[in-house]
Amino acid sequence: MLYFSKLKLFFIYFIIIFFSLFSFLNFINVKDYSFVNKKVNLGLDLQGGSYLLLEVDSTPIINQNLQQKVLNLKKYFKSKKIKYENLKLINNAIIFNLPSNYIPSFEKLFQNKDNTINLYYPKYRSYEMNYIITGNTVNLEYSKYGLVEMKLSSLDQSLEIVRRRIDELGTNDPTILKRGNDRILIELPGLEDPNRIKKLLGKTANLTFRIVANSEDVFGSELLPFENSDEKLNVSKRIVLSGDNLINAQPFYDKQTNQTVVNFTFDRSGSKKFARTTTNNVGRRLAIILDNKIISAPVVREAIVGGNGQISGDFTFQTATDLALLLRSGALPAPLNIIEERTIGPDLGEDSIKAGALSLMIGFLLVIFYMLFKYKFLGIIADISLIVNLVILIGILTILEATLTLPGIAGIILTVGMAVDANVLIFERIKEEMKVEKSNIHAFDAGYKKAQSAILDANITTLISAIILFFLGSGPVKGFAVTLGVGILTTLFCAYFFARHLSSLYVMKNKDKQISI
């Protein structure tokens, strides 16, 4: 085992040099070459930033979906010429009366999981909704499964939209994770303005266009306030266009009016609707409403047929930018409530880095001195191997662009201990072999061979634990698992390839001399 072919030596030192180069990237500033612009990122606890825990409020979704089902039922009953009475929505339940002869056929709709009212209307699945029939009164409400399914769907949609909003801000290495079936965890390292993020995430961004109502609006009307004033307008309840038809929105400074505005563009369907609405309502005001607050309500001067429009108001460039971002990323399916918030200052993160680096340095130096004292020249080989181990570890973390946290530093410190442990096992085994072997070469060879199983068993069991922590843990726990898992692999490489090669050179040179261990 002490013989190394040229190919094996090339393999060993190529790996060391390759990962050393990536490790070195953390100490220089490389911006011109994106393919090598990699660094180990610092986590929230090291560089400061914001921690937010959001909860998805699914109550409006339940009510909205039930309202849609009410409309579908009305259409169904009308198409089948079924006479119904008192169809209403009360306490998240749909209640209505049916003639006795229609009750059995209505029950059949819920006896087959694959049933549909017809091809046009949504499925009323037996596992999604429960029904209770008392006499002629039917009570429909969501089942527990239906509620959980709806919450999970809302959570997935909210997670994607939150990710879009945060990504468009250019936040560095955000962590966005699901927590349970109704919560989202957000960590934003290095964030300087957490209030801006909170405002962006706190808005549902449900954009609608409605005509300002006159006294004879057949669709009904409601009073809605302006976003930045106490003024209210009576707007029609009929939504002529929604933000779903929006494909782009950008802030723009209008030099003619000296105002910052938001220019938007509709898709093909939205362009047709917008053209038809502006053509039929020339001279009337069109209210642009975001989350039930009027942003602006300009007068339609002429038909707009190009599919482009403009939102004006008392905008600064940042508020216009944020509004455009909200419109581009889409509306949240449900409101998000901030239930936990923490802000970590950069000074605290700097103190954590210093404390982590100091503990690593102290542990590293103590290990080096102990190995020198205990194993003499072989201790020097173990120390060199330990340094190379750390360099390769940092290089791999750099390639992965891993996020380093305090638990991650703990994983690196643990790696130092495990790396030394492997060398101690090998050297102690060599000591035992030198008592019975006359040849130094045979003693060293046997020592490495017989220590191998113990080292592999210890490291593989720890690696399994790291893998379990990675898949079942989250956030800082994953960071610890990554550094520990990678550290185990680099430890095995350095102990059984690099350190063994250095040991072989030393033994070959002193094969006929007394070697002190």
Residue 151 lies in a domain: no
Alpha helix stretches (DSSP H) within 178-297? 194-202, 268-280
Question: What would the two tokens of residue 243 be?
Answer: 């933000």
Residue 185 lies in a domain: no
Identify residue 143 by its one-letter amino acid code.
S
| C-alpha span between 330 and 265 (Å, rounded) | 14
Question: What would the two tokens of residue 265 be?
Answer: 């563009």
User: Which tens digits make up the pLDDT trace of 293-329?
Assistant: 888 888 888 888 888 888 877 788 888 888 888 888 8
**455 shares its domain with 364:** yes
| C-alpha span between 471 and 334 (Å, rounded) | 29
Output phi, psi for 350, to 5 deg: -65, -40
517 residues of the chain, pLDDT tens digit each: 566 788 889 999 999 999 998 888 887 766 555 556 677 877 777 777 788 889 988 887 887 788 778 877 888 788 878 888 888 888 888 888 888 887 887 777 665 544 444 333 444 454 577 778 888 888 888 888 888 888 888 888 888 888 888 887 766 667 888 888 888 988 887 776 677 788 888 788 888 889 988 766 657 788 899 887 778 888 888 888 888 888 888 888 888 778 888 888 888 888 998 898 889 888 888 888 888 888 888 888 888 888 888 887 778 888 888 888 888 887 788 888 888 888 776 666 677 777 777 887 887 888 888 888 888 888 888 889 989 999 999 999 888 888 787 888 888 888 888 888 888 888 888 888 888 777 778 888 888 888 888 888 888 998 999 899 888 876 678 888 889 999 999 999 998 889 888 888 888 887 767 666 6
**502 shares its domain with 469:** yes
Total of domains in the chain? 3
**353 shares its domain with 271:** no
Would you say 254 and 332 are in contact if contact means Cβ atoms under 8 Å apart?
Answer: no
CATH number (domain holding residue 244): 3.30.1360.200
Q: Residue 38: exposed, middle, or buried by beta-carbon count in 10 A (0-12, 13-18, 19+)?
A: middle
Residue 335 lies in a domain: yes
Upper half-sphere CA count for residue 243 (Cβ side, 13 Å): 22
| C-alpha span between 44 and 290 (Å, rounded) | 33
Residue 349 lies in a domain: yes
**327 shares its domain with 404:** no
**350 shares its domain with 408:** yes
Residue 227 lies in a domain: yes
Residue 269 lies in a domain: yes
**245 shares its domain with 327:** yes
Residue 189 lies in a domain: no
User: Which tens digits make up the pLDDT trace of 150-202?
Assistant: 888 888 888 888 888 888 776 666 788 888 888 898 888 777 667 778 888 87
In Å, how far are 346, 405, 423 from 418, measured between CA atoms? 32, 20, 9
> What region does 235 belong to: left with phi over 0, alpha with psi -120 to 50, or beta?
beta
**359 shares its domain with 496:** yes
**13 shares its domain with 134:** no
**DSSP conformation letters of 113-181:** TT--S-SSSPP--TTTEEEEEETTEEEEEE-HHHHHHHHHHHHHHHHHHHHHHHHHTT-SS-EEEEETT
Q: 468: domain range? A: 6-47+345-509
**382 shares its domain with 503:** yes
**464 shares its domain with 355:** yes
Which of 314, 339, 364 is the last residue before a domain boundary? 339
**433 shares its domain with 500:** yes
Which of 339, 361, 378 is the last residue before a domain boundary? 339
In Å, how far are 61, 154, 297 from 332, measured between CA atoms? 11, 8, 23
| C-alpha span between 294 and 231 (Å, rounded) | 10
Give the number of residues written for the chain.
Answer: 517
> What region does 102 belong to: left with phi over 0, alpha with psi -120 to 50, or beta?
alpha
Nearest one of 242, 228, 240 to 293, comparing CA atoms: 228
Residue 273 lies in a domain: yes
Which of 287, 309, 339 is the last residue before a domain boundary? 339
**360 shares its domain with 424:** yes
